[in-house]
Structure 1
Amino acid sequence: MTEYSRLKTSRSAAIRATLDYPVIDTDVHTNDFTPAFEDYIAKYGGVKLVDELRKTEASRLNSKSNGKDWYQQTPEERQYNRTIRSPWWARVTKNTLDLATYTLPGLLYERQAEQGSDYSVLFLNNVLAPAGASAENRQALQRAVNHYHADIYRKYSDRLTPVAGIPLTTPQEGIEELEFAVKTLGLKVINITGGVKRPIKAIADKYPADKFPEIAKYASYIDFYGLDSEYDYDPFWAKVVELGVPVTTHYGSQGWTGRSSISNYMNNHIGHFADGSEAFAKALFFGGVTKRFPQLRVAMLEGGADWGARVYIHLVDRFSKRNIKALENYNPALTNADELFEIFERYGAEVTQGHSLDKDELTKTVLGASFSRHSRAPIGSELDDFAAAGIETIEDIRDRWVNSFFFGSESDDRTIATAFNDKANPLGVKINAIYSSDVGHWDVPDLTSPLAESWDLVQEGVISEADFKSYVFANPYKFYTQANPEFFKGTAIESKVGNTEFKQVDKSLVVA
């Protein structure tokens, strides 16, 4: 009989044994055993929901043109249709034990110690498949999926918790599913898409989707919920805060400009989670969501943490040049026409030879497009891109970016050093990088490796031991408990943190 316990040979288990704090993994991917899953869905809502699930799964996994996916098309057809390449061999399969582990809740629970984890948040690979379902079946299917996952993982809740998928086509739909997931099912983390695709109305009105489906496929934009949305999502964010729910997303940008190769999956893949999550996070920031809901906690996963630091730095830099007072440096009305004319008289003869301009004409000419390209000047808040976010100081940027957002960084991601570089990050802050192993996907061929790979970064001097502690414990703990102080009640984490001294500083958790 095969011996499945490898605790004695797991580097991650050995490292965990040396730590005086628990390890919280925010990104574990699991699969459902399809026959049991579909039986549950059918009993829950009928065969039509199973058919809907299968359609959404097929649509999500395959980019099709003329009824053929990429692998069925010839190179000429791919070029003609511009069919984006989807991944091949995207799951761990050679490691048979791990393949079974991601599908069997009891085995995953048993192997937590081998992985070096004390608590894992689970992202079922089809948890958000219902988001692509028809309007008629979307909510019923999402409810069935969430109910199934709540049921099969309930008895493992001291170490494992599944996320609830929440569709956000409208804020009301999101509120209804949020309340059901939390109040009825007892789920306590939600997973959303970082945006929803909507038709461009000016084009949709002229070319209705039922008559021009190919046009409708491309004539769309992405609503990121916080900025320029057709809907007011504040009631949804308010409900999230009221119920004490941390928000997570794996939001990618494959298919966007620059990520639409018809031949190379890696070209489309590298950096796409960071791009997608950046668009989502900036919409919440500039739309004032993090100002109006300072208790909201959002984690963007699989994109790394370095982009969180980069955007934070750029926000501070841009604000210093483009805040409402600094904008006066670029106000055409403040150009001194007399001084400009005098300078041109002294130094401009070579350039202006043959052109006789008075001072007003000269000013308009030199200002060029800055003076004349717009029919009118911006009015009020139109001038200030930071107005809705309520930014008056760089401390406001810190509070509404650094405090609100957490960034899932995978175990071997060396760019995490950027997040912890408090010398480069304004105000000496460290970005909230959180341990996100991503086990269950192709980038983790052995689930016992990630914690050890993260510890390698300490040994190589990429991050410090204190940063490692923040990464695998303090930051994830802060993410969940700042949203819901009772999040870890009754879990393995509750008993372990009782032996660790904590203190509150500036309303943020610091491990002493």
Structure 2
Amino acid sequence: MNDRLSRLRASPSVAVKQNLDYPVIDTDVHTNDYTPALEEYVAQYGGAALVDELRKATASRRRNAENSSGKDWYAQTPEERQYYRTIRSPWWARVTRNTLDVATYHLPELLYERQEEQGSDYSVLFPNNVLAPLAAKDPDVRRPLHRAVNHYHADLYRHYSDRLTPVAGIPLYTPEEGIEELEFAVKTLGLKVINIGGGVKRPIRAIADKYPPKHHPELAKYASYIDFYGLDSEYDYDPFWAKVVELGVPVTTHYGSQGWTGRSSISNYMNNHIGHFADGSEAFAKALFFGGVTRRFPQLRVAMLEGGAAWGANVYIHLIDRFEKRSLAGLKNYDPAELDRELLVELFRRHGASLTKQRELDPEQLVRDTLGAAYASDARQPQGLELEDFAAAGIEKPEDIRERWVDSFFFGSESDDRTIAAAFNDKANPLGAKINAIYSSDVGHWDVPDLTDALAESWRLVEDGVISAADFKAYVYSNPYKFYTQANPAFFKGTVIEQKVQRTGQPG
């Protein structure tokens, strides 16, 4: 008890929390599993064989990139890394020196006890193994692994549900797979938040048919694309989104882009890391927007974590700007049919004699010579819906963009992220919008060496004038509360948040 009191007195986040008249909701806390306990639980599902598959899956996620001989990055010479273009992947991604925190992320009882010390009233947990089963390509392995891991976490944290809730990892190789695992996680296990990969890597069929992956595994590794579920997918994911809305489940993702073009350094992890969560989540979110998912499912609530909120504001601004130029009305400025060919010829005759050298000017040839052959070719002109990139999203006015981007999406920002200012800048953001930044501390990863610092770091954004006190309240309370309760009004039933809201009232 004395040790706990001394820790509370020493915590800078406790000092901040004492001056707040509202609760704090942390939307992103990473925990680690005690391996023997997890494997023992998995064995109950599928015996030793399923434990072996779990070990393969976690090793696949944990190991560094390998070349075709199977040599790890660290075992390769610099020349081999250059030859194979083996990217530098994450290393030393967890806290070690702070031994108390190491134990905290493994022990639910200790994490629960230290919630006050952390400055949080309620935390949503992302166990690091929650999506490990995605590395299993065989659905007969992937699905039971997901069920076992989700069941383990549901049982592990059930006793602490008034302050802690773990997410369920949901595979989405097909919408049917996602629906079945979603229903099991929610209806059977009682979990109420899901975490998905922001995309699925699929083979390019034209290449896979010519060079079957089983015969050309090295080629298959690169001859692929990413399906982001909402745009140009080979599957119709609407049944999955409909089930998510029906069950009242908030959707989260930590989707990244390390290894993508521009993030494939063979020597520098930070080069590959900085901004990669934002880039990956941007691709995912734009696919949902342009694919019309947020139009068809306005109740859907999706949070992209760890990438910050600035990119959400950036894309929102660009969506508004581009709609003004690339809507059906705006496209008339670029339509070849709108070009006054007679006037163009007359202007060239009047002002371009030194260039044309008295050539006879044919109107269509002049179009080809000035704008390019595509502008004069009927075969190159888009028709119908091909003309309008905003058609599937159903955008008819800028307010529609605000509704289908700002209202649907929430953006996890870590405690020291000063770019959060862009999210709350309603002067720069069109239509006076503020982007839904949500407190996403990321404790448990290397970003936070000390669990007790995160909330205090966020408050320093107020002290430094980066955001206002009102914005801070929206960040750590109002926006997270809105995210979970707009998806499921009963989300906080039976929790300390429900108790505090009853005393203080819902956030405005």
Both structures adopt the same fold (TM-score exceeding 0.5) = yes
CA distance in 2, matches of 1:381, 1:198: 26
CA distance in 2, matches of 1:20, 1:3: 27
Alignment check: 8 A CA contact 1:61 1:86 kept: no
Give the alignment partner of residue 126 of structure 1, picking from 125, 129, 145: 129
**1:487 corresponds to 2:488:** no
| CA deviation profile, 1:268-320 (whole Å, cap 9, x unmatched) | 00000000000000000000000000000000000000000000000000000
Letter in 1 for 2:94: R
**1:249 corresponds to 2:250:** no
CA distance in 1, matches of 2:483, 2:464: 27
Q: Give the number of equivalent residue pairs.
A: 504
Give the alignment partner of residue 69 of structure 1, picking from 58, 68, 72: 72
What is the TM-score when the length of structure 1 is the normalising length? 0.97
Letter in 1 for 2:118: Q
Per the TM alignment, residue 422 of structure 1 is displaced from its structure 2 partner at its CA by: 0.1
Partner of 1:229: 233
Which of 200-209 and 337-346 deviates more? 337-346
Stretches of structure 1 lacking an aligned partner (at least 5 in a row): 503-510
Per the TM alignment, residue 495 of structure 1 is displaced from its structure 2 partner at its CA by: 0.3
Alignment check: 8 A CA contact 2:242 2:297 kept: yes
* Alpha carbons of structure 1 residues 374 and 44: separation in structure 2 relative to 1, 3 Å: farther
Output aligned runs, 1:170-249, within 5 Å: 170-249=174-253
Partner of 1:51: 52
- Which secondary structure does the structure 1 equivalent of 2:418 belong to? coil
**1:422 corresponds to 2:426:** yes
CA distance in 2, matches of 1:37, 1:86: 26
Partner of 1:507: none
CA distance in 2, matches of 1:24, 1:91: 22
Alignment check: 8 A CA contact 1:332 1:367 kept: no
CA distance in 2, matches of 1:466, 1:413: 17
**1:406 corresponds to 2:380:** no
Output aligned runs, 1:222-371, within 5 Å: 222-353=226-357, 355-371=359-375
Partner of 2:27: 26
Letter in 1 for 2:60: S
Letter in 2 for 1:15: V
Per the TM alignment, residue 4 of structure 1 is displaced from its structure 2 partner at its CA by: 4.9
Per the TM alignment, residue 375 of structure 1 is displaced from its structure 2 partner at its CA by: 2.8
* Alpha carbons of structure 1 residues 27 and 380: separation in structure 2 relative to 1, 3 Å: same
| CA deviation profile, 1:5-33 (whole Å, cap 9, x unmatched) | 50011110111111110000000000000
Which of 341-350 and 193-202 deviates more? 341-350
Letter in 2 for 1:403: D
| CA deviation profile, 1:308-363 (whole Å, cap 9, x unmatched) | 00000000000000001111110111111111111111100111115332333223
Which of 219-228 and 3-12 deviates more? 3-12
Letter in 2 for 1:287: G
CA distance in 2, matches of 1:374, 1:269: 45
Letter in 2 for 1:478: K
**1:396 corresponds to 2:400:** yes
* Alpha carbons of structure 1 residues 121 and 260: separation in structure 2 relative to 1, 3 Å: same
RMSD: 1.2
CA distance in 1, matches of 2:132, 2:377: 46
- Which secondary structure does the structure 2 equivalent of 1:136 belong to? helix
* Alpha carbons of structure 1 residues 4 and 73: separation in structure 2 relative to 1, 3 Å: farther
CA distance in 2, matches of 1:270, 1:374: 44
Alignment check: 8 A CA contact 1:25 1:435 kept: yes
CA distance in 2, matches of 1:453, 1:313: 28
CA distance in 1, matches of 2:24, 2:309: 18
Alignment check: 8 A CA contact 2:25 2:120 kept: yes
Letter in 2 for 1:131: L
Stretches of structure 2 lacking an aligned partner (at least 5 in a row): none
- Which secondary structure does the structure 1 equivalent of 2:267 belong to? coil
* Alpha carbons of structure 1 residues 347 and 409: separation in structure 2 relative to 1, 3 Å: same
What is the TM-score when the length of structure 2 is the normalising length? 0.98
Per the TM alignment, residue 169 of structure 1 is displaced from its structure 2 partner at its CA by: 0.3
CA distance in 1, matches of 2:210, 2:434: 49
Per the TM alignment, residue 234 of structure 1 is displaced from its structure 2 partner at its CA by: 0.1
| CA deviation profile, 1:449-480 (whole Å, cap 9, x unmatched) | 01000000000000000000000000000000
Letter in 2 for 1:47: A
Partner of 2:94: 91
| CA deviation profile, 1:156-208 (whole Å, cap 9, x unmatched) | 00000000000000000000000000000000000000000000000000000
- Which secondary structure does the structure 1 equivalent of 2:493 belong to? coil
Give the fraction of aligned pairs with identical amino acids, expressed as a percent.
Answer: 76
Give the alignment partner of residue 151 of structure 1, picking from 147, 155, 159: 155
State the 4+ residue runs in structure 1 displaced beyond 4 angstroms.
none
CA distance in 1, matches of 2:114, 2:479: 23
